[in-house]
Amino acid sequence: MIRAILALMPPTRALLTTICAASLCLPAWSVRAAPEEGDAPLPAAPTPEAPESPPTAPSDVGGDARADDLQDAMVRAFTERFQEGKFLFNRGSYAQAAMEFERAFAAIPAEAALFNVALSYERAGDRVSAALAARKYMLLPDCGEAGVKPEMCGARRAEVQAQLERLMAQIGELRLEISKGVVLREVSINGRKVAIGDFPVLVASGRIDIELVGALAGQRRQRVIDVRPGERQAIVVGPFDRPDIVGGDGPRAREPKPRPKWLRPLFWSGVSLTAASGIAMATMGGLLIREGRLVDENLCDRDPATATKQCPDPPGDYYPHDNVRREAQYKTATNVLVGVTAGLAVITTIVGIVAFTGEDARRKRNGSTQRASTRVRWQGAGVLVHF
């Protein structure tokens, strides 16, 4: 595609001057990550220079006017997007800068734009997008090939290769292996549909939610796997069981609904609230017991015949009004907290049962007979996951 674009662009001196000036790459100085971060070193913020001169439209004698206009527009778009990307990069808006560099590369496939795409995404913390851009850079033609302009070839291939290796050690890769006779209609990773032809795909390390949908209704599998940094996993899809069909044209077995992703966070939030309410209830109960003891200690009886505790002299009002009032307040608060804690505990228990119930059990309750099992085994440097 790059060579096709180059074929449409006459090699004018003005165009080469513009690209050379605009392709002043963002220099990369290495900085060491803090010990507590544990991430690979990233390039520090650069200080790019501005282009030497504004872009000018190339003019070839006897050239086609419409081709010149198109080329002029491409040069302007490249220069504007590239300069905007450098401005955003210097401001620390790395993700937005990466998108501007991508737009510049779409206008003119200069290697400096693609190099800065990978650099910006890495600075933004999007290692997957940075690795994809680095892989794309590695596909640029070699600078030694005939007819390849210096601005369009992979001049910093060794530097990008080192960056790609550093990124691949921090992310994971998934490849898909479909058993013979199995037809997949849809594959979703973390809720996003992925075309089967796009595999192998790069993913961020951590918990990955994979959903497979077969060609027939009811053929659905959902599993959560763990991908470690630098790990490559193969997802092997075995045959689906046929869902039950009632009658010739009757309704098919109902497809199980996938587990909502917010159930587990809601459960742990309920656990936290229940624990906090229990602590508050215990505190109020302790204060209630303390005030009750103070009331008993301060009560006295003026009648010597019935007194269990004689009031001191001189006589006066020795009834512990403050202690009795506080005891009543603590009793009300404790009773309210007992009810709140019990209610939170019941609700949290129900949410936990729904969130952590096995997928197979829900399929049986819904009438589905499909099998969804996961087997993991090591294979060489990667992991093989059977669905």
Q: Kindly compute the dihedral angle of the four CA atoms of residues 357, 363, 366, 370, in this order, to the nearest 10 degrees.
A: 180
- Residue 337 tokens read as 């907290």
Query: Is 287 a member of any domain?
Result: yes
Query: Do 94 and 212 belong together in one domain?
Result: no
- Check residue 267 and give its pLDDT: 84
- pLDDT of residue 15 exceeding 70, the answer is no
Query: Do 209 and 62 belong together in one domain?
Result: no
Query: Is 201 a member of any domain?
Result: yes
Query: Do 381 and 240 belong together in one domain?
Result: yes
Query: Is 24 a member of any domain?
Result: yes
Is residue 103 within 8 A of residue 91, CB to CB? The reply is: no
How far, in Å, CA of 82 to CA of 276, rounded?
A: 53
Which of 129-143, 166-180, 309-323 is predicted least confidently?
A: 309-323
How far, in Å, CA of 291 to CA of 300, rounded?
A: 16
Backbone region of residue 12 per phi and psi (left: phi > 0; alpha: psi in -120 to 50; beta: other values): beta
Query: Do 237 and 223 belong together in one domain?
Result: yes
- Check residue 135 and give its pLDDT: 94
* Top-confidence residue, 372 or 150: 150
Query: Do 245 and 179 belong together in one domain?
Result: yes
* Per-residue DSSP letter, 221: E
Mean pLDDT, the chain, integer: 75
Is residue 337 within 8 A of residue 277, CB to CB? The reply is: yes
Is residue 80 within 8 A of residue 64, CB to CB? The reply is: no
Is residue 151 within 8 A of residue 16, CB to CB? The reply is: yes
- Check residue 315 and give its pLDDT: 52
Residue 72 binned pLDDT confidence (cut-offs 50, 70, 90): confident
Query: Do 62 and 157 belong together in one domain?
Result: yes
Q: What is the CATH number of the domain that holds 141?
A: 1.25.40
Query: Do 358 and 379 belong together in one domain?
Result: no
- pLDDT of residue 101 exceeding 90, the answer is yes
Query: Is 7 a member of any domain?
Result: yes
Alpha-carbon dihedral sign for residues 293, 295, 298, 304: negative
Q: What is the full DSSP assignment across 63-107?
A: --HHHHHHHHHHHHHHHHHHHHHHHHHHHT-HHHHHHHHHHHHHH
Q: Give me the number of domains the chain comprises.
A: 3
Please give the average per-residue pLDDT across 82-95, as a whole number: 95
- pLDDT of residue 383 exceeding 70, the answer is no
Residue 78 binned pLDDT confidence (cut-offs 50, 70, 90): very high
The neighbour count for residue 53, using CB atoms within 10 Å, is: 10
Query: Is 203 a member of any domain?
Result: yes
pTM for the full predicted model? 0.52
Query: Is 256 a member of any domain?
Result: no
Q: Residue 239's domain spans which residues?
A: 171-250+370-386
